[in-house]
Chain A
Amino acid sequence: MAKKAKSRTIAVRLVSMALTGYYKTLIRPRTHRPLSMLKYDPVVRKKVLFLEQKRGGR
C-alpha cells in the first residue's frame, strides 16, 4: 500500500527560554527553518525569547 503523503505544514512548539515551562504552538511549513521569536511570557510577565523545540518521535 502506498504511504500516506506527509502534510505540507507541521505544528511546532516554541518554548520560553525563561525556563518557566510556558510554550506556544505554531504552524509552519515543513521545509521552513525553525521558528524563533520574542513573545510575552505571562509567568515572568516579560517579553522573552521563544525557540522552537527540537522535534523527535516519541
Chain B
Amino acid sequence: MRKLRVLSAGAVTAVLALTACTTDEPADTTDEVDQAAEQPDDGGQSSEGSGDEWFVQAEYEKQLAQRDKEPEGPADKPWLQAIDPEYVETAEYAQDGNTLCFSNASVANPWRVTGWITMQQQVQVYKDSGDIGEFRVSDAGGDDNKQISDIQAFVDAGDCNAIIISPSTTATLTPAVEAACQSGVPVIVFDRGVNTDCMVTFIHPIGGYAYGADGAEFLVENLEPGSKVLALRILPGVDVLEHRWAAAQEIFADSDLEILGNEFTEGDAATIKDTVTQYLQRGEVDGIWMDAGDGAVAAVEAFEDTGNDYPVMVGEDELGFMRKWKETGMTAIAPAYSNFQWRTPIEAAVKIWNGEKVPSEWVLPQEPITEEDRDEYLDRNEGMPDLHYAKFGGEDLPGFPEAWQDR
C-alpha cells in the first residue's frame, strides 16, 4: 500500500512537472507577440521601462498625456465629448431599420449595473423619439464563449441594424467581433477593447494606465518618503485591471514609497478587511492603493477597528466610499472609470444611422474626484444607494432619480 502511495505521489509530481515544461517556453515567447497585438494603435511598440508584460510605454505615456487635454464637445455632456477625435464618415452604414442589438458581457458588478441602468434610460429617450425601434439585449453572464455565441446569434438573425458589444475579455472576443464586422452591420465596441479596428467606433474612457496613475500619483504626493503602501487588487489576468496596476508600479518605482505587497481580494469585503487587518498587525500601513473601489469601505474600517490612523486612501467614485471619505475626513482620492460611457454607444448608434460622423476611437474624458469636487458629487447623488457610481452621468435623463434608486 505504501509503495503505491509513493508511486502515485510520484505520478502527481511528474504530471505537474510535465505541465510546467510543456507550457513554459511557448508562453514566454507568445506573450510578447500577444502583447504587441493587444495595442493595435501602437503596433509593434515593444515594452520598455518596466519589465511587466502588461506595460506598454507608449500607450502609458499617451494616456497620461490625454488626462491634460481639453476634450472636444459640450462640457455639460461628458459622454459626448471626445479627446483627439479622428472622425470617420458613416454614410456607408445607412440602414433601413432601427433595431439596436447589444451584447453585454455581464451585469455582475455594481459598476456595470449602474451603467446598464443608464444605458436603458438613454435607449428609452430614443425609443420615445422614434430613433430606436427594438432594443435587443443578450447577457453572457461573464462567459466569453456565451458572448461569442450571443454575437453570432445577432449576426445570424440578420435583422440587427447595429450591434453594440461590451466585450467580456479583450483578446478572446476578437474573432467574434471581426465576424460581426464582416456582416456589414455597423459594430460599436465600448469599455474593454478587442484586438481589431474593424468596428466603426471604439468607445472608452482614457484607460487603465491613467486610472492607476491617478491614484498612485496622489499617494506619492500625499505621503512622506519612506511611507508604506499596500496594494489591493481584484483578480489577476484582466487587462483593464492589470493596466491600472502596471501604471501604479511604474509610478511607485520612481518614488520613495515602500510597497508592502499586492494582494488579490476578488473585491470581497471580508477578505479585504481581513487582509488589511493582518498587515496592520505586522506593522504600519500609511496608504492603500486599490485597482477598483469595491470594498474600499471595508479597508478603511480595518484601520478603525484596529485603532490605527486613517491611511491615505485611493478608492473609486462609488458612493459608499465617498460618503465614508466625507464622514471621516481622511485624505483620499476617487479615481473614476467614467461610468457615463454607457450612454455613448447609444448616441453613437443613432449618429451612425443618421449618417453623422463619429470618432473612430472615441476617447471619453476620465477625471478622478478630488476633495474639491467631492461634496458637489455627493449632493448631486443624494438618495442614491451606496453601490452607485458618482460619475454615472444620467442626471438629465427622464427616469432620474427613481430608475437608479429603485433598482
Partners in one complex: no
Q: State the B residues within 8 Å of A (CB).
A: none
